[in-house]
Amino acid sequence: MTTAIIIVAAGRGTRAGGDLPKQWQMLAGQPVLAHTLAAFAGRGRIVLVVHPDDMPRAAALMGAEVVAGGGTRAESVRNALRHLAGQNVTQVLIHDGARPLVPPAVIDAVLAALQTAPAAAPALPVTDALWRGDGGQVAGTQDRDSLYRAQTPQGFHFEAILAAHLAHQGDAADDVAVARAAGMPVIITPGDEDNLKLTYPQDFSRAEGILRGRHMDLRVGNGFDVHAFTAGDHVWLCGVKVPHDKALLGHSDADVGMHALTDAIYGALAEGDIGTHFPPSDPQWKGAASHIFLAHAMLRLRTRGFALSNADVTLICERPKIGPHATEMRMALAHVMGVEVERISVKATTSERLGFTGREEGIAALATATLVRA
């Protein structure tokens, strides 16, 4: 079948507020209609129906033929159908321009239903209790069984819906109403809560949230560090001074756990490692406390617009025993990072007496940090 998509966007949308009709207002940096057109890209020939005053503005949108709308929604759809008539279109989807977030699955379900039925449209069952109102008071209730909230795109065999529109008098709530007036059976396909129609100002905030969820910027970074033992009486691990019969050798305080975690954050940001920001060749960092490095990584994280989702540090050593200090380590890291302690994990393992950690020649640490766009 040859598919065409009609995007109806000729209304004025005054309830949405703003200086422009809602379909031309900005949503996540683009006009609403740009999102709507993108949802149907590659699915067929797209015809965009706009108000005559908006024709110059519509010319800037790519990927659609532009047709002038009429005084009513039904007239606008008829204009688009006439534009497509005689051009070998076999099925058509008719969609509200103010529904920019229609998921691919909703479109697919309508197209699949058109393989065996002349018309199909998505809808959601009504789940809330329904009231009838009078003067701001509840005047009665309405049975919600068999009631649905209609959505678009509504799909039709082309010649059938063209004939139905040409025969229809006056306006209609949607194209299903026109089809049913002509005696066409309409299959109900699954709708989606994300397929909202932008109507009021608050709907734009909800749509922004949905888009952020769809395009979540999630980053994961790994860090690994090793420090050898040297003479001493304590080691610094994850910001905690742990008594031991040796110390860790390093240019700074050799906090292997904090170093691995810092590198994990830098890695998630694709900003190198500790050596990139604090070169060991620079004498000012000789003996520096490692919380300086971790705090800097967190500053970079927040400056880039991210938040820490969680961090996990594993210390690899035979001694000292980490378990008695793990809670204090989590609290120390959370304090430096400015996050809830519940987001920080510190645990330990041995290497079963194998390798340099098994021979107690030093301590290694692995860390993972997950960042999410705030």
Residues 24 and 119 in one domain: yes
Domain limits for position 287: 218-373
User: How far is Cα 196 from Cα 99, in angstroms, rounded to an integer?
Assistant: 6
Non-local (6+) Cβ contacts of 166 within 8 A are 78
Residues 273 and 358 in one domain: yes
How sure is the predictor about 374, in pLDDT bands with cuts at 50, 70 and 90?
low
Q: Note the pLDDT tens digit of each residue in 20-75.
A: 899 999 998 899 999 999 999 999 999 999 999 999 989 888 889 999 999 999 99
pTM of the model: 0.65
Backbone φ and ψ of 340, nearest 5°? -70, 145
* CA trace torsion 23, 29, 30, 32 (10° rounding): -30
Using CA atoms, how far apart are residues 362 and 257, in angstroms rounded to an integer? 12
The last residue of one of the domains, among 179, 199, 214, is 214
Do 272 and 292 sit in the same domain of this protein? yes
- Domain end residue (candidates: 197, 214, 231): 214
Rounded Cα–Cα distance for residues 256 and 258 (Å):
6
Residue reference for tokens 């109507």: 199
Number of folded domains in the chain?
2
Task: For residue 171, give the CATH number of its domain.
Answer: 3.90.550.10
Confidence (pLDDT) at 17: 79
Res. 213 pLDDT band, cuts 50 70 90: confident
Average confidence (pLDDT) over 139-147? 94
* Cβ atoms of 53 and 62 closer than 8 Å: no
Structure tokens at 27: 């949503």
Q: Calculate mean pLDDT across residues 117-128.
A: 97
Q: Minimum mean pLDDT among 229-233, 249-253, 339-343: which range?
A: 249-253
- Is there a single domain that holds both residue 116 and residue 94? yes
